[in-house]
Structure formats: structure tokens, C-alpha cells
Amino acid sequence: MYSVWSLVRHASAIPRARRQEAALFRVGVGFVGKRPPHSYEADPTLRYEPVPIRIGYNSMWKLGKRPLPNQRRETRLIIPLEVLVETFDENGNPSLQEHTVTETISSLGTCIRTNLNIGVGRILRISSQSDHVSTFAAIRSRKVAPDGIARLGLEFIGERWPLQRD
């Protein structure tokens, strides 16, 4: 038996049963091979995309660095929302939590201030009690601002954040 590297193509949360504490996800992957890409060693936070290759080769696609978009898919709005951020341990059980405020938000992602020591690539849950919303998010960036407080760029997973008010 050996390990196989794979590229996560999509992920969505599976609704939990009442007694079940751990978060479960349905994940779709594309298999890469026995070893990670060479650039992974230099920067494990890089995001990769499958790149089609020419016909006649022995595979359907290869990995390439994800190109940085010139602009966001949606405009981020400057809306401070009180949220609860929760991290999970290796078994999917809640481990750390912090109450914080969003700096910017769209239906696809948000930027939050944090004192938690968590890095790019981790999955967390973000909830708003006042808006009755709870969803999972992937940490896509982490930067320490001039005020010394870290900012996390989060991408919502599986569902959009509802910005429409009734």
C-alpha cells in the first residue's frame, strides 16, 4: 500500500445527525500520483488546477499553478458582521473558537480579523447568530496587518453566504 496525492476539486458539508459531533464532508478529488508537484516543497499553500494536455500523452491532465485572478468574482462589501469562527481537530471535532467581526464580505467569501494561529488551507466553520447562518470556509490567505492583527481571507465551501435581507 502507498499514499496517492490528489487534487480536491469540490467539497460540501454533509448534514449532521443530532448525536454526531464531528463535521463530515463529501469531497471530489482528481488523483495526481505518488509524489506532490515539485513546487509543493517550496510553497505548500499554492493552489493547483488541472490543466488539459495534448492528445497522445498517457494522461488526461497535469497540474498547474492556479492563475491569480485580476479581479474578484463578486465585489466584497464593507459590512461588519459579528461571527463565531471554529476550527476542528484531526478527527473533525471542534477545537478552537473565537468571536470576531468581518471586515469585508460577499456571498462567496469574507475577510476577518483573528488572533487564532491557523494557516492557509485549513477548514473552519463560520457562524452568525444574528443572521442564523453557519457554513464552512477554507482559509485562502493569512496576512498580518500594520496593526499587528492577522487577517484571514476565507472562501465559503458548499453554500453562499446570504446577503439579502428580508
Domains in the chain with CATH codes: 5-65 (no CATH), 82-157 (2.40.10.220)
Percent with pLDDT over 70 in the chain: 76
Which band of pLDDT confidence, cut at 50, 70 and 90, is reported for residue 30?
confident
Confirm if 128 and 82 have CB atoms less than 8 A apart. Answer: yes
Which band of pLDDT confidence, cut at 50, 70 and 90, is reported for residue 27?
confident
pLDDT surpassing 90 at residue 101: yes
What's the first-to-final CA gap in the chain, in angstroms? 54
